[in-house]
Amino acid sequence: MAFLRLLPRLSVRDLAAEVAFYERLGFVARTTAGGSVTLEADGVAFGLHEDRHAPGGAGPGGTTWQMEVDDVHAVAERARRAHLITDELPRQQADGEWTWRLRTPGGYLLLLQSHADPRFGCDLRSAALALPGVVELHEDGRRTYRVGRTLVAAQPDPLTAEVRLRPEDVPAAGAVAGVVPAPGGARVDLAAVDPDVLAELLRTSHDRWSPPVPDVGLLRQE
């Protein structure tokens, strides 16, 4: 005896909206008997069934729907181009894996994960947060890194960083792989830049724009 296939079937209130969501991620839909829909992509398959009484909001039982993909960043970029709304960017975990979460129209939390990818070894988040006083924020759909109110860098999409620099601190076009001048600083291709170059650009921005440390003087000894 052998178990040959697992085909989960999720209940949703609005079948058309849920199908459209997965089609934008690259799944192909086909209708099966009874009005259910099977979605398939690269050997991964699952079903959707419309149930007007299905729980909304957090999904049935607070279900997290987890999928492994070969490149989380590519899926996130595809979703962005398809205008799927998400307020998160892919995150690198302590073990090197990348994860990305988004909510489906039916309320399910979809968690995508991929193994560590050497193209993204120069992790902007880790490099920025290693600098003194830098905090991470999510503003207008992008990740930003600030010291107080001062912007050091931003990440408008998973493959791009924008580092705030003065013109004299920006490498000339073509001088450094993955770095080009841009309004307000440098635009960095995270798939092409050397991690040490990214770290140096961030340090330069941090040192240039960080608020000065107040001089409190020497403490008097009684």
Is 104 a residue whose pLDDT tops 70? yes
Where do the domains of the chain lie? 9-119, 121-209
* pLDDT tens-place string over residues 75-84: 888 888 888 8
Which residue from 209, 216, 214 is spatially nearest to 134, judged by alpha carbons?
209
Q: What is the pTM of this model?
A: 0.55
Q: What percent of the chain has pLDDT over 70?
A: 86
Question: Would you state the structure tokens that stand for residue 13, as one six-digit string?
Answer: 């209130």
State the pLDDT at residue 83.
Answer: 86
- The CATH architecture that domain 9-119 belongs to is Roll (3.10)
Higher pLDDT: 140 or 168? It is 168
Alpha-carbon distance of 141 to 89, in angstroms, equals 9
Give the contacts of 4 (CB within 8 A, at least 6 positions apart).
none
CA distance to 17, 21, 39, 45, 102, per residue, from 8 (Å): 18, 17, 11, 8, 19
* DSSP string across 36-60: -EEEEETTEEEEEEE-TTS--SS-G
Beta bridge partners of 214: none
Is 179 a residue whose pLDDT tops 90? yes
* pLDDT tens-place string over residues 182-221: 999 999 998 788 889 999 999 999 998 876 655 544 444 4
Higher pLDDT: 130 or 87? It is 130
Is 95 a residue whose pLDDT tops 70? no
Name the most confidently modeled range: 14-23, 30-39, 90-99.
14-23
Alpha-carbon distance of 166 to 187, in angstroms, equals 13
State the pLDDT at residue 55.
Answer: 65
